[in-house]
Structure 1
Amino acid sequence: MSDEAACADGAPTPFKHRFGGWHEADAIRRPNPDGSEGAIVALTANVDAAVNLPASVEVWPSASIGGGASIGYRASIGGGASIGYRASIGDGASIGGGASIGYRASIGDGASIGGGASIGGGASIGYRASIGGGASIGGGASIGYRASIGDGASIGYRASIGDGASIGYRASIGYRASIGGGASIGYRASIGGGASIGYRASIGDGASIGDGASIGGGASINQDDWFYVLGPQGSRHAWATAVQSAEGLRWWVGCQQGIDTETLRARVLRDHGGTDHEADYLHAIDVVERHPGRLRHIAKLAAAAAPTETGEAA
């Protein structure tokens, strides 16, 4: 029997359908309120009577689509997923089983929402972005084009994740934090509320950035690093990020990326010699070099590297 067939009373005739090509369940070809051909909808799914669904859409068993929702061409709504009132699901988007899409949330074309993920009301998920299974995206948050959010990650209310950024497994991004385009946040890293992570910066696995911190573009901070942010500095009024690791002290400020202190001094003299900018930079360098936290960190690194009685590092 064709899935286009209808019962004598005009109701759609149920048929067996393989959702996603593998999960078999009873379904109907649901007619749209405007009279056009509708989607394949599992009998156990619940779709608001006023919603039009493209014929290319699949609505899996136990899924729910609320009033005023907009579902794009070739979108897939997974088993048990919930699409909220006036939410928008783009063309080719995939909503995983048990995922929840909040009121007025927007899922871009080709985006993928993993099973059990939660997208808060008014959140925006960009074109071809990927949200991992069990991840939580807060209300009003913005996830950029092709950004990737790992399984179990948490993105806070009104946080902003830039285009192409990568947020690792179980990482935590706080309320109103901003993650720049192309930035990378590692596994279980934590970014505090209101913090700003610059374009293409890298925050390593397990690293913690506090509330309101500002990390400059391109900076690289790992879990065991000491870092200090100060500014604004120089003609560009840029924030300087100094990072002390086992490899030494490196600086990110303006267009200067990952340079050592002597290189920074030389470039300040070359570009700003005799100006207030030179004085400001030299003061910043002095503050960082003499910072007690940095000196303690260096001592800690030295102690860890020192050989023990067995001849091995501590």
Structure 2
Amino acid sequence: MDRREWMRQAALVAAAGLAPFPGLAQARPTKIVVPYPAGGPLDAMTRVLAEKVKDALGTVIVENRAGAGGNLGADYVAKSQPDGQTLLVGAVATHAINPWLYARIPYDPIRDFAPITLVARVPNVLVMNVETAERLRIRTVQDLVAYARKNPGRLNYGSGGNGSAGHLAGEMFKTQAKVSMVHIPYAGGAPAQLGLLSGQVDLNFDNLATAAANIRAGKLKALAVTTSERASAMPELPTIAESGLSGFAVDTWFGLFAPAGTPAETVQRLNQLFVTALQSPDVRQRFSAFMAEPAPTTPARFADFVRAELAKYEKVVKASGAKID
């Protein structure tokens, strides 16, 4: 790249609010692998980030490699060259749930990756069928726990399937609240929500972005968010932890990983680049459409977070009895 071209790119990067990183922009495109189908919220938010960093990295391609609950895409990146040009958008499923849910996975979620940064967290929410909540006079999490303890096995909850985030949140809730509820698995999140709206099930632990419209329309009764802090999108909702189940914390998160062996200097430069992008007002605004809260951090803190999540979900998955061969 000659001096004139470098100065042109530097000006573009500066205009975007990002600092250029010599040595990261390459003739070969940077590939960000999303291990899920195109069109979903995670895919859309990844494309927002890719657009934001392309002036610093050069050409950035978002590639969808779906399959096996995210395992195929994660394995592809784990086995890629550790040069900082093939990155993974890993998630709670690929790095904390699947290692315990699947009988075998082709990668190690800790040893095979170099964490770069946590990208965002999306709150989940405990929602009830409105008619059921009114009939049983359940207005709060405390009401729900009291009813469930007096009526073991009478309530049921739906989820997008065995081992899904909603299923595991329900199992964690049952354990901490010391209640018995029946799990009804559906073939995906959308059918599970339809089951709740129609009264086939009593409650769900749903993604806030998915449930928000029906909550605001009065079609679902929201009791609490499952995260450790209140959601900025609906700050009026308490957390489950605030409501009596101390320490309860479940959310959907995703972050950036490089293959293990990527030079520390490259990881640090990528961290600085993506953290700057995540802190920009326009990225935060576009993420808010998905109820996602940017959560940039350092590589070391992200690595600690992933290890803690992996340990947490080992207990939850084993308690649920969910297993995929």
Q: Answer with 1 or 2: which has the greater Rg.
A: 1
TM-score (norm 2): 0.21
Which protein has greater RCO, CA pairs closer than 8 Å, 6+ apart? Answer: 2
TM-score normalized by structure 1? Answer: 0.21
Q: Choose between structure 1 and 2: higher strand proportion.
A: 1
